[in-house]
Structure 1
Amino acid sequence: MLKNIIFYILSIILLASCSSISNTVVEVGEGWANNSINTVIFRKNAITSNSTHQFLAYYDENGKMIIAKRKLNSSNFDLSHSDFTGNTKDAHNAISIALDGNNKLHASWDHHDNPLNYAIGIAALSTQLGDKQNMTGKDENKLSYPQFYNLKNGNLFFLYRSGQSGKGKLVSKLYNIENQQWEDLHDNLIDGEGERNAYWQACVDREGTIHLSWVWRDSWDVATNHDMAYARSKDGGKTWQRSNGQQYNLPITASSAEYAWEIPQKSELINQTSMTADKNGNPYIVTYWTEDHKTNYQIIYLEEGKWKHENTNFRNSSFQLGGGGTKKIPISRPEILLKETQDKPMFYLLFRDAERGNKISMAYNKIGSKKSWNVIDLTKVSVGEWEPNYDLELWKREKKLHVFAQKVYQIDGEGVATVKPTMIRVLEIKNLPLK
């Protein structure tokens, strides 16, 4: 009976909205679902891979960190129960992982203004982590939002906030695969000056340039988010410049930042979304805010040296965004990815929207097109308050889209639901439209 139920659930998850796109669903294991900690978008990364193996991490129902691994193209994940746990009652305390150029797994977990939790795999491709350790020991006492980014040479770039909401700074470190050591890059890359903090998103393009964008928040209240600023680094995070190549004097502050788009407070502007870059190194930032009385996904991008903006305009409703803690919001924060074509690249947004029954959905279009954005559902069932994460390295290498999926429940303001654990799945999405 149970097998029949599972088969039925899996069968209805498969895509039916678009004949060209197809899904394969791979089950991993059951995870904590009483809030969105396993699916928050600022996990960098929830799922990652090299050319042969794929890894993902999540908390189980007891708050224990699970590391899962499979050979790519296999439908079976091996699960490793680590010795580490997290405070799963706070959805900020997510797990971030990465594989370095030596194929060692790095993990950082359980942070919301508390000391660094970090460990590294005991051997190449091992799911077993060594003891918890420091990176450099500097500025590692009050962390939030740890994020790993893979650099072209195999090194890892690491970002986190030091401080707190409304009063914080952005810190960066670098892991060198040759000496297998961390070094401090900037203990204050973006300075909130005690009056604000930067909520960022970043990406690394095909040439190795790090693109960084952020909104400012002036207090604990999400309603005080405003503006979208930008910086880039062409030397692995050592020096930073504006989009025109002009060098920044560090730290970057509210008065010295380049603003890609000015957005006032109380615009329902969200923080911590995503960005990407095309083959020419032009950045594209996706977020959402309210415009013309509707809250829509908005894309800010650089074209021929000039910042531009496109409202996707496929949503029909608005909502008010305010308060603190993890919010229960009608839409998820979006992920953006692109695929080059013979002319302009095709852009894809991954998201979840209550207007569409909280399914995993995708919108796609070419920026600047006169056509409306196409929107399809990739699942037939709700995923609750899920936010998107996908295997960024697999997409970079092979343009294969593997999405981390789990139905989760989020009660507004850091609330905790009382539900049974739900299945972690990987959605392998094939045949993305190019027209």
Structure 2
Amino acid sequence: MPFLTSVTPGKACADFTVLFCLMNHGNQQFAAWYDENHRLTVGNRALPDGNWTQFQPEGFWIDERKRPAHITDFDSHNYLTIAIDSAGFIHLAGNMHVDPLIYFRSEKPLDITSLRCVPHMVGDRENRTTYPVFFKDNQGRLLFRYRDGCSGNGDDIYNVYQPQTQQWTRLLDTPLLNGEGARNGYARQPVQGPDNYWHMVWMWRESPHCETNNNLSYARSRDLIHWEKSDGTPLALPISRCSGEIVDNADVGDGLINMVQEVGFDNQGRAVLIFHRYDAAGHSQAWLARPDGKGHWQKEQLSQWTFRWDFSGGGSIPPDITLSAPRAVGNEMLEVEWTSLWTGKGIWIIDEENLRVVETKPLESLIPEAFWRPDQETHPDAEVQIMAALNSDYSPQSRYWLRWEALPIFRDVPHDTVTKPTELEVLELM
């Protein structure tokens, strides 16, 4: 069993669950979180054992929220995300759920104390932003994706950063996904596969209510600018529900949920999608789908569950089922990790040819079970949150994790209780 040690960047709020961020860049480590007063806080240390320093940047006043941009409320959508560009400047975004763009950039490379609020990126379609995502393309350029609009009525916007001028411009002169004023697309970040295509999966939603998800969809691209269907048919932008490629035509109420959709790859480098929807009996099930290159999709049900994750309504809900992206494990086999509130957790071993489960194995976490048990006495109902650090080029790492405790996700409203602050910890695999 691996031995882990922990260091403490500082205290964080424990009265609601929202995702923080931990990022490695060379021998520097950065973290972003909300302190016990819900104030945006950034930390930095030198690896492997430097002391943490903290900084709290100032934001503008948001009149609609009656609070400044550097203070959050109880909305679990308001996660924080960090990026570091090719010149070493720090970028930070978050605390947004149909809000004006909240974005900070450092004035000096790798210097958190020089983080300053930047009023806009491009200056257009930045008044109702949600779901900020930084990532890098295959040229190493920093990209930024966000939703303009609201749940049930929004478009996906992509920007690209020019480090020479420190300016953002549009990567696309149109939204990538267009809800046509009637819906919005809930997309996963594009994932680059072994075939050098970027692959993206999404579903459409008709309203803020999560049960109105429908029509699982897919597109791929060589350059994130020109997009096509799985058989190579070009897609005109923006992609709408009627023009995109439908993988599964699940209707409203059929069990698609935007937090359970991923893209993985088999041993031949082919894209394999995983998603949740109900079966004919109304039970929750996990499904795989893989394109045949001719415009059709091979789909197989993985699970044989007899329960129903019956979600509905607005606001954030807890992930009662999780499904990992399928990954190749050799010998023409795939594996998928799953967790369920009703049946525990496990790993499916899947025959790559027919996409059927051949074995179910126990799921053992790399992190010892003791770290998943609350031990800070923040509140009897507190749950442990652990998330892996990111490398600044977004390559995977398996040495550092961020750990804290907080009350469960609760539809973006405050719990009727009081908590102590949680100690934020960085776990290190030795």
Q: Aligned residue for 2:379? A: none
* TM-score, structure 1 as length reference: 0.79
1:252 match: secondary structure: coil
**Cα shift at 1:324:** 0.5
Give the C-alpha shift of residue 182 in structure 1. Answer: 0.9
Q: Secondary structure at the match of 1:223?
A: helix
Distance 2:139 2:156 in 1: 23
Q: Which residues in structure 2 correspond to 1:75-94 (within 5 Å)? A: 77-84=52-59, 85-94=70-79
Larger radius of gyration: 2
Pick closer, same or farther for the CA change 1:214–1:136 going to 2, 3 Å. Answer: same
Question: How many pairs were matched up?
Answer: 398
- RMSD, aligned CA: 3.4
Distance in 1 of aligned mates of 2:3 and 2:336: 15
Three-state SS of the structure 2 residue aligned to 1:191 is coil
**By how many angstroms is 1:241 displaced?**
1.6
- Matched AA of 1:124: P
- Superposition TM-score, scaled by structure 2 size: 0.79
Residues 283, 393 of structure 1: alpha-carbon distance in 2 compared, 3 angstrom cutoff: farther
* Structure 1 position 38 matched with structure 2 position 36: no
Specify which structure has the bigger relative contact order, considering alpha-carbon pairs within 8 angstroms and separated by 6 or more residues.
1
Alignment of 1:150-161 (within 5 A): 150-161=136-147
Q: How much has 1:390 moved relative to structure 2?
A: 3.0
Query: What are the within-5 Å matches in structure 2 for residues 118-129 of structure 1?
Result: 118-128=103-113, 129=115
Map of 1:414 onto structure 2 = 412
Letter in 1 for 2:81: S
Q: Does 1:318 align with 2:318?
A: no
What is the match of residue 277 of structure 2? 289
The 10-residue stretch of structure 1 (364-373 or 241-250) with the greater mean CA deviation from structure 2: 364-373
Return the alpha-carbon distance in structure 1 between the equivalents of residues 151 and 245 of structure 2: 22
Contact 1:334 1:388 in 2 (8 A): no
Q: Which 5+ residue runs of structure 1 have no aligned equivalent?
A: 1-18, 40-45, 431-435
CA apart distance, 1:209: 3.9
Q: Deviations over 1:125-154 (max 9, x none)?
A: 222312323111011111111111122322
Q: Does 1:263 align with 2:253?
A: no
Other-structure match for 1:184:
170
Q: Distance in 2 between matches of 1:251 and 1:88?
A: 33
1:125 alignment partner, SS class: coil
> 1:314-342 deviations in whole A, cap 9, x for unaligned?
86643310001122x3626555374x655
1:73-119 C-alpha deviation (Å, 9 max, x unpaired): 44854433333413222222221221222232211122111111111
Q: Distance in 2 between matches of 1:428 and 1:287?
A: 32
SS at match of 2:203: strand
- Deviation for aligned residue 1:72: 4.4
Cα deviation for residue 363 of structure 1 reads: 4.1
The residue number in structure 1 matching 2:128 is: 142
Retained in 2: the 8 A contact 1:104–1:121? yes
Quick check: 2:39–2:72 contact (8 Å CA) kept in 1?
A: no
Is structure 2 residue 101 aligned with structure 1 residue 101?
Answer: no
AA at the equivalent of 1:424: L
Which 5+ residue runs of structure 2 have no aligned equivalent?
60-69, 375-381
SS in 2 for 1:90: coil
Give the Cα–Cα distance (whole angstroms) in 2 for the partners of residues 231 and 259 of structure 1.
Answer: 9
Partner SS state of residue 227, structure 1: strand
Structure-2 change in CA distance of 1:136 and 1:246 (3 Å): same
Give the 3 Å change call, closer, same or farther, for CA 69–352 of structure 1 in structure 2.
farther
User: What's the % identity of the aligned pairs?
Assistant: 24
Structure-2 residue corresponding to 1:43:
none
| Counterparts in 2 of 1:26 and 1:344: CA distance versus 1, 3 Å | farther
Which residue among 44, 67, 74 is the counterpart of 2:42? 67
Greater CA drift, 412-421 or 111-120: 412-421
* 1:298 shift after superposition: 4.1
